[in-house]
Structures are given as C-alpha cells and as structure tokens.
C-alpha cells in the first residue's frame, strides 16, 4: 500500500506537469526583480544606467559593494539594525509571554478591564499616532538613542493576545500536578509552561524579528544622527541624498534584505509556521 502511494506520488501525471510549469513561470516572475537587483549591484554605475538595458553585467565588478563599505556608514547601520531587532525580539517575547500568562491563568483586580484596554491597543500604531508618540518619546529624552528606537516597539498588544490564547489551551492538570509537587507559580511558569509553548514563542519571536528588522517608519522618525540609523532607514534617506547611484543602492538594499532571505532558506519550516501562526491568530 505504502509503496503504491509512493509510486503514485512520484509519477508525473499530465496535470502535475502543467501545474509545475505554471509554478515555475510564476516563480520566475516573482524572483525576477531580486535577480535584476543582484545583477545591477555587480555593474559599474555607468553600465547600470546604460541604454539599451542589459540583464547581465558586461564587466562584472564588485565596485558598488566595496564603495558602500568604504564611503558610507553601512556597517554601523547593520550593527544598529542587529542590536535593535535582537533587543526588541528578546523584550517582546519575554514581556508578552509573561503578560499572556498573567491574563490567561492568574487573577488580579481589574483583569477584564485591562484586557479590554490591551485589545483596544491593536488599533494603535506608529503610523496612526506617530506625532504624539514622537513627542512622548521626546519628553522622555530618548530621541536619537537606542532605547528610543527599541522600547516603543516593545508593547505589541497582538503578541500578548496570541500567547494569551495559546496559554488558555494548555491543560490545567499539568500546572496542578507541578503545584502538588511543591512548585511555586513562577517556577511553574518557567519550567512547565514556557517549555511547552516553545513553538508559539518561536512564532512570536520570528514575526517580531522580521517586523523589527524591516521597520522603517519608527527609526526614521526618531533618529537624525546617521550613525544611529538602522539599515532600512539609512538606505532610504542617506543613500538617496547625494544623487542616486543605482548599483550602490541595490547593493545596500541586498545587504539589508539578504540576511533574512538566507535565514529563510535554512529555517523555512519554522518561519512559515511562525508567520502563519501569528497571522492566523487574528481570527
């Protein structure tokens, strides 16, 4: 039986040939802009804007890549992006796991009112309330600081809600058993609940890291100092400010975008599950 299924699966039926051909065509269209960007980054600035357009560089050169490292602050931006995203991810996972568990499993005064307040926060984003958020952070003296970039990204109501729903689904018996064995609530949380929720925590962490690494609007608003900018921010503002050099711009863009894509190739299953999980939790 299993052999028969295996053979059946591997056979190239006509419908599979057609579907695969369509899939390859669609993939080619979707990947083309990335390939075009990659080829542009290996052209000289003159060749990049030469007419007629050529797909492949005539003379492959790493000039654009060496230029962005030599002239700009791109290494600074890269490190800043890394520091900000890692801090944001760590704080978000810790804080929203604690809060999700608190709302799901513990009792305290005004819990339901606070939960409703947190749900209301799903509608607030830096895009909607950017100016008041800026003046708030300004009054805390955090303009042009790491904390100013990091902390406002660390209060995502959505992540609390996702983990809250997840913790509600864990059978209470496990916690009760641990409690009978003499564990306190913090120990139960850290030794029983957190290990059980690894997939959900990973989902929240992955989604948060992607969102934070790619965040443009908030770092753009809160930093003026080119040394403090993150990758997306620096590429969009500083690299565009002295006349566009397309090959360098594409090289910088790839440097901002490729790390996540490379990570994705290796951790595809986890990332897909993580993004789908966080997205589906909105249901």
Within positions 127 to 166, which residues make up the interface with another protein, using CB under 8 A? 127-140, 151-152, 154-155, 157, 160
What would the two tokens of residue 218 be?
A: 């908030």
CA dist., res. 25 & res. 209, Å (int): 31
User: Least distance in Å: CB of 128 to another protein?
Assistant: 5
Where does this chain touch another protein (CB under 8 A) — which range of 50-58, 61-69, 71-79, 194-202? 50-58
Contact range with another protein by CB under 8 A, out of 71-79, 82-90, 194-202, 230-238 = 230-238
Please report, for residues 1, 8, 15, the alpha-carbon distance to residue 4 in angstroms, rounded to integers and kept in the order given: 5, 6, 19
Check: CB of residue 40 under 8 Å from CB of residue 250: yes
Tokens in use for 230?
């993150």
* Binding residue for another protein, selected from 73, 80, 85, 96, defined by CB under 8 A: 96
Report yes or no: 130 and 221 within 8 Å, Cβ to Cβ.
yes
Distances (CA, A) of 156 to 103, 230, 231: 15, 20, 22
Q: Is 222 in the site for another protein (CB under 8 A)?
A: no
Quote the CA–CA distance of 15 and 106 in Å, as a whole number: 54
34, 82, 170, 192: which one contacts another protein (CB under 8 A)?
34
58 to 77: interface string for another protein, x by CB under 8 A: --------------------
Give the residue with the Cβ less far from another protein, 73 or 96. 96
Exactly one of 42, 65, 103, 161 binds another protein (CB under 8 A); which one? 103
* Residue 47 tokens, joined: 């060749």
Q: Does residue 79 touch another protein according to CB under 8 A?
A: no
231 binding another protein? (CB under 8 A) = yes
How far apart are alpha carbons 108 and 101 in whole angstroms?
A: 12
**Residue in the structure block whose two tokens are 């960007």:** 37
Binding mask 160-199 for another protein (x = CB under 8 A): x--------------xx--xx---xx---x----------
**What is the separation, in whole angstroms, between the first and last Cα of the chain?**
39
Q: How far is the CB of 31 from another protein (least distance, A)?
A: 6
Choice between 57 and 257, CB closer to another protein: 257
């Amino acid at each position: 039986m299993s052999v028969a299924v295996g053979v059946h699966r591997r056979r190239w039926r006509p419908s599979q040939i057609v579907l695969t051909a369509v899939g390859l065509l669609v993939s080619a269209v979707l990947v083309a802009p990335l390939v075009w960007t990659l080829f542009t980054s290996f052209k000289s600035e003159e060749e990049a804007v030469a007419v007629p357009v050529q797909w492949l560089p005539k003379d492959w050169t790493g000039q654009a890549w060496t230029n962005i490292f030599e002239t700009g602050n791109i290494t600074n931006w890269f490190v800043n992006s890394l520091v900000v995203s890692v801090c944001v991810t760590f704080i978000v996972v810790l804080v929203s796991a604690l809060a999700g568990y608190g709302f799901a499993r513990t009792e305290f005064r005004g819990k339901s009112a606070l939960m409703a307040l947190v749900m209301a926060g799903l509608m607030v984003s830096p895009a909607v309330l950017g100016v008041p958020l800026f003046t708030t952070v300004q009054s805390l003296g955090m303009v042009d600081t790491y904390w100013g970039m990091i902390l406002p990204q660390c209060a995502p109501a959505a992540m609390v809600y996702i983990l809250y729903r997840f913790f509600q689904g864990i059978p209470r018996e496990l916690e009760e058993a641990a409690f009978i064995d003499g564990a306190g609530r913090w120990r139960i949380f850290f030794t029983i609940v957190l290990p059980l929720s690894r997939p959900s925590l990973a989902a929240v962490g992955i989604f948060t890291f992607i969102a934070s690494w790619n965040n443009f609007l908030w770092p753009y608003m809160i930093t003026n100092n080119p040394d403090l900018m993150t990758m997306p921010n620096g590429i969009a503002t500083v690299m565009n400010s002295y006349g566009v050099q397309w090959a360098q711009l594409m090289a910088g863009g790839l440097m901002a975008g490729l790390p996540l894509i490379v990570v994705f190739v290796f951790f595809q299953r986890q990332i897909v599950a993580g993004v789908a999980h966080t997205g589906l939790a909105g249901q």
